[in-house]
Amino acid sequence: MGEYPVKGIIFDMDNTLLRSNIDFGRMKQEIYAYLRERDLLPEQAPIDRETSSTLIRQALAANRMTPRQVNEVWAIAAKHETEGMAGADLEPGVRELLAELQGKAALTVLTNNSILAARAALEENRILHVFDLVVGREDAGELKPSPDGVRLILNLYPRLTSRDWISVGDAWIDCIASQDAGVRFIAYRADMEKMRIAGAVPDDSIAHLAELTRVIQST
């Protein structure tokens, strides 16, 4: 990979690479209702501070879900993902950025979405072939904000250290997952107030993906 300042990049997918049409609010409400109706959530779970993945994470941690319930709650997520990713367009500047980075660094995707939905959306936009690795929720272990998926990627590149990588995403769960694995995080068009409330502190922030080159060169 030569002397390029960064040897590996981990991209989030929704609203980072792809302009997602997933209705995350509706997904979260439906998952919350499913779990609450079955008494599978701790009483203190405040929906406004959670994401779909963190709600499911709490329910799994309580260890009361049957295999059927696990499948059913993930089916709710998959339904919204499939609907929302159909026809999703690229974020501005994605194609140009990937063309610039290809061959200079390992390019990977880490998403809480199902791997089938992720690969289909990337293929539909003709960028799947650019990535060396795409990790969906089936392989990530515990989902973001857990660092499991980031650590999985790092372990697949044993010649690189965590300091050789950067991660790019739009949400606080991306930031915490990356930094807990020792990877620098660049926030893309992020809600910085939500970041602050969650205790997430990005290493840098950008408003357009073209700015990522500046960040890389300054590392």
Tallying the residues shown for the chain, one arrives at 219
With beta carbons less than 8 A apart as the criterion, state whether 96 and 210 touch. Answer: yes
User: What is the chain's mean pLDDT, rounded?
Assistant: 93
CATH number of 8-19+90-217: 3.40.50.1000
**In sequence order, what are the residues at sequence separation of 6 or more whose Cβ sits closer than 8 angstroms to the Cβ of residue 66?**
none
Extents of the domains making up the chain: 8-19+90-217, 24-85
Q: Is the pLDDT of residue 58 over 50?
A: yes
Predicted pLDDT at 88? 84
pLDDT (mean) for 95-106: 97
Predicted pLDDT at 45? 60
Q: In angstroms, rounded to a whole number, what is the distance separating the alpha carbons of residues 181 and 55?
A: 22
The token pair that represents 70 in the structure block = 């696990």
- Whether a cis peptide bond, with omega within 30° of 0, leads into 145 is yes
pLDDT (mean) for 189-202: 95
